[in-house]
Structure 1
Amino acid sequence: MRLSTRLILFATVAACAPMLPEPPLPGPAPVQPGTPTPSGPSTPSTNPATPATDPVPDQAGFEGWKQGFLDRHGGARRADYARELAGLNPDPTVIRLDGNQPEFSRPAGAYVQNAVTPTRIAQAKQRADRVPWAVVQRFGVPTEILLGIWAQESAFGQVQGDFDVIRSLATLAYDGRRRDWAESQLKDALDIVIDGRRARSGLKGSWAGAMGQTQFMPDNYLRLGIDQDGDGYVDIWGSDADALASAANLLAQAGWKRGQSWGYEVVLPEGFDYGLAEGARHDWAFWRARGVQLAHGGEPTQAEQAEGATILLPQGARGPAFLALPNHYVIRRYNNSVSYALAIGLTADGIQGKPGLTRAWPDDAPLSREQRIGTQRALTSLGYDTQGIDGIIGSNTRAALRQWQIDNGRLADGYLTAELADELIRMTR
């Protein structure tokens, strides 16, 4: 592979890990994302050099957390867990990366355009025969969706991450932002090693603990991993068939609807009530009555018309609009990010030969962590609860912002620009 191609892969692949920044989406029972890696073009496959600005973890505090973890979760396996955790120290790179997940800090258009490229679509088409037809038939998840996930998660297995999964999860648990989740994942990762499912030296993945070609978290590996090639092991690192079957199983268990699309680009009429976006789900008749049209003409299939669907404005009223069908939300069970799910859906559309978007993405600046956290604090202090101040601009923050926009006579598209963030922050100083 030429150096330029390697650089593209390095820059665009998202080593996924569970983000869980928002409460479970309405729909089927939650399936932990094989994910918050962050997913999308971001996490490198090798540990980047730690910059001088990286935090220096408190080793004494880490040792105290470790003993607490063993007290809480060790049980009959305490000695085994202690052996695997012996000599471990927290990874400052993991702490830094956890605060800079691209799905929530970069504008959707920048994320999607970086992920959905002619090169990636061509590479996916070349690998279509590597998706076992038996997997597609069994789980009902289309080949092109599995190819989209495979491309986004690991550049078709080429960029899987080489972080020590146990060290990464121990660091996240110690850091505390997602302690309960991280400790649960750490326990599962330790069990994978202790039960002989995977050697510790081979338990590699993203900085957030996502593993293999389709970036499964340890709990999903244990619950949903599939030995498709029948060799007695669920090898999501080395076996294309196992990795793709496991991903298909995750989506099927999350409620994938056979024969239906993830969604469509739509055109909204002049005077559309943007306050309806990302709100209650309605059937196609509801949206059609309000002037919504598919961007490329025609109508959803009969089955899709009967489904509850949402209008999404991932980059506000100035950007493309989408009709999100239930399968869009199933993809978000893999990684709970609008940008991620759009990247998968649009990649799948490209593989099928469907035309591209009719509306261009605005060229908005990314939001700094200070702007994201400052906005959440400002909205909360103004009486618009963002359900937490974590720097992740998810559906709860967008809903709070939309209500503020409605109450203040603004166009209520729920989209946070850098300019609006600065305005809100100034209001509460």
Structure 2
Amino acid sequence: MRFDYRLALIACVSACAPMLPEAPPVAPPAPVPASQPPREAGSATTPPPAPAQTSGVDQPGFEGWKQGFLNRKGGARRAQYEQQLANLTPDPEVIRLDGNQPEFSRPAGAYISNAASAARIAEARRRIDAVPWGVTRQYGVPAEILVAIWGNESSFGQVQGNSDVIRSLATLAFEGRRRDWAEGQLKDALDIVIDGRRERAGLLGSWAGAMGQTQFMPDNYLRLGVDQNGDGRVDIWGTDADALASAANLLAQAGWKRGQAWGYEVVLPAGFDYSLAEADGRPWSDWARRGVTLAHGGAPTAEEAAERGTILLPQGARGAAFLALPNHYVIRRYNNSASYALAIGLTADGVAGKPGLVGTWPNDGPISREQRFGAQTALARMGYDPGAIDGVIGSGTRRALRQWQIANGRIADGYLTAAIADELMRGM
């Protein structure tokens, strides 16, 4: 079957939208020095969508913001930054995309099925030899994981984004919703150009500022980029080896555990206490005593069984269930979305020839922005704290929803549907 790059362009999950960082129930062994974690269509380091704390008060307009930025971040390089920003205008498309992110509303099953499609798995299998043996040996990250990220981030380098990264980040900083984050990334992007690491014309990426075949934000490019082919440049745009080694370095620095899986699909027994999902991790022996089994039989390795695994229900009690091990959360340091990390893991499993899912996904419809905000507002007013009222259905919202479900005699799976959102809003 020929891989259709037109479909890849539509389905590509290369850093197209910022994602809210969630505190994982199982903390990776070592935190990656990353600034972001994006969401359902995010990249190796896209921004959190929470309001930023700004420094000082800028004068009105884009020029007013620009002078404020130069005052805050320019330092000894103020004149050089000012030269790069000269005649720059905000990009209205960036503002539009930042305010309209439909991937936030997509059911997990639809997202995962698309991102881990048979076509993508087949193409990733064909490209696995592009991962240098030295990369897997040095960083310990399986080649299957790396090609899964490569495919999901840029359709194997085919869809990297053609936005001016400096203009995109300046626009996001001016917009102000994530000003501190965006200004830090903008400073790093300017330094990339001024230090001669990349010409300005070639500093292209997604509308959110993620760059290259593995969609790195500027800060991670500077700190984690790898010159794998030894030509003196970190070229994540045009050199497969550099892009893949950089991704491996990010995952290794985040605490990737050599020789361990990301997790497993599991089957939950009748009467399972769904409120245990996303709670504190437990060793496999505890889950097994509760009747949890691996969907394809067998058991985790001894090392995996000793880890504190977490049950994930990305689409509630009616959908597929997973045991997430620490490497799942390492992937989420690349892009902090459970759906993204599951898609990467399942793609990698397919590349390795492992069988597909046993569970099925409910055919749930999308949830509108108004429903997401409305559900969070309703939960907060009823005394169930969802955290920030931001329209992002993260762990805080799911925890609050479980509390409401328990109080109302429902299955406490923490899964928000459009029907539940409407019911919550009617009860306000």
Deviations 1:109-168 (A, max 9, x none): 010111111111111111111100000000000000000000000000000000111111
Distance of 2:39 and 2:326 partners within structure 1? 22
Tell me the CA shift for residue 95 of structure 1: 2.0
Output aligned runs, 1:177-188, within 5 Å.
177-188=177-188
Deviations 1:80-107 (A, max 9, x none): 1111112222222222222344553210
Which residue of structure 1 aligns with residue 370 of structure 2?
370
Output aligned runs, 1:148-297, within 5 Å.
148-297=148-297
Which residue of structure 2 aligns with residue 65 of structure 1?
65
Contact 1:104 1:337 in 2 (8 A): no
Contact 2:268 2:293 in 1 (8 A): yes
The DSSP-based 3-state class of the residue aligned with 2:9 is helix
Distance of 2:90 and 2:423 partners within structure 1? 38
Contact 2:277 2:313 in 1 (8 A): yes
Tell me the CA shift for residue 395 of structure 1: 1.3
Call closer, same or farther: CA 1:378–1:34 in 2, change over 3 Å.
Answer: closer
Distance of 1:154 and 1:379 partners within structure 2? 37
Which residue of structure 2 aligns with residue 29 of structure 1?
31
Which residue of structure 2 aligns with residue 421 of structure 1?
421
- After TM superposition, the structure 1 stretch with the greater mean CA deviation from structure 2, 354-363 or 232-241, is 354-363
The DSSP-based 3-state class of the residue aligned with 1:425 is helix
Tell me the CA shift for residue 38 of structure 1: 5.4
The DSSP-based 3-state class of the residue aligned with 1:322 is strand
Which residue of structure 2 aligns with residue 310 of structure 1?
310
Call closer, same or farther: CA 1:131–1:264 in 2, change over 3 Å.
Answer: same
Deviations 1:281-310 (A, max 9, x none): 111011111110001110011100000110
The DSSP-based 3-state class of the residue aligned with 1:358 is coil
Task: Establish whether residue 143 from structure 1 lines up as the match of residue 143 from structure 2.
Answer: yes
Call closer, same or farther: CA 1:111–1:229 in 2, change over 3 Å.
Answer: same
Tell me the CA shift for residue 36 of structure 1: 2.1
Which residue of structure 1 aligns with residue 46 of structure 2?
none
Which residue of structure 1 aligns with residue 89 of structure 2?
89
Distance of 2:11 and 2:301 partners within structure 1? 33
Contact 1:38 1:208 in 2 (8 A): no
Contact 1:74 1:81 in 2 (8 A): yes
The DSSP-based 3-state class of the residue aligned with 1:300 is coil
Call closer, same or farther: CA 1:38–1:66 in 2, change over 3 Å.
Answer: farther
Counterpart of 2:21, as a letter, is E
Deviations 1:207-226 (A, max 9, x none): 11000000000000000000
Deviations 1:159-213 (A, max 9, x none): 0000111111111112222221111111111110111100111000011100000
Call closer, same or farther: CA 1:259–1:33 in 2, change over 3 Å.
Answer: farther
Tell me the TM-score normalized by structure 1: 0.92
Distance of 1:382 and 1:150 partners within structure 2? 43
Which residue of structure 2 aligns with residue 49 of structure 1?
none
Tell me the CA shift for residue 381 of structure 1: 1.5
Counterpart of 2:295, as a letter, is A
The DSSP-based 3-state class of the residue aligned with 2:322 is strand
Tell me the CA shift for residue 314 of structure 1: 0.2
Call closer, same or farther: CA 1:33–1:300 in 2, change over 3 Å.
Answer: farther
Deviations 1:339-378 (A, max 9, x none): 1001100000000111111111111111111111111111
Q: Alpha carbon RMSD of aligned pairs, Å?
A: 1.9
Which residue of structure 2 aligns with residue 385 of structure 1?
385
- After TM superposition, the structure 1 stretch with the greater mean CA deviation from structure 2, 399-408 or 21-30, is 21-30
Which residue of structure 2 aligns with residue 8 of structure 1?
7
The DSSP-based 3-state class of the residue aligned with 2:168 is helix
Call closer, same or farther: CA 1:8–1:253 in 2, change over 3 Å.
Answer: same
Contact 1:153 1:214 in 2 (8 A): yes
Counterpart of 1:111, as a letter, is Y
Q: Paired residues, what number?
A: 410
- After TM superposition, the structure 1 stretch with the greater mean CA deviation from structure 2, 367-376 or 247-256, is 367-376
Contact 2:19 2:42 in 1 (8 A): no
Contact 1:18 1:34 in 2 (8 A): no
Tell me the CA shift for residue 24 of structure 1: 4.4
The DSSP-based 3-state class of the residue aligned with 2:311 is strand
Tell me the CA shift for residue 39 of structure 1: 2.7
Call closer, same or farther: CA 1:84–1:195 in 2, change over 3 Å.
Answer: same
Contact 1:251 1:334 in 2 (8 A): yes
Counterpart of 2:11, as a letter, is T
Counterpart of 1:29, as a letter, is P
Distance of 1:177 and 1:397 partners within structure 2? 21
Call closer, same or farther: CA 1:332–1:393 in 2, change over 3 Å.
Answer: same
Call closer, same or farther: CA 1:103–1:300 in 2, change over 3 Å.
Answer: farther
Task: Establish whether residue 39 from structure 1 lines up as the match of residue 41 from structure 2.
Answer: yes
Contact 1:19 1:336 in 2 (8 A): no
Alignment gaps of 5+ in structure 2: 44-58
Contact 1:309 1:324 in 2 (8 A): yes
Task: Establish whether residue 326 from structure 1 lines up as the match of residue 353 from structure 2.
Answer: no
Alignment gaps of 5+ in structure 1: 42-58
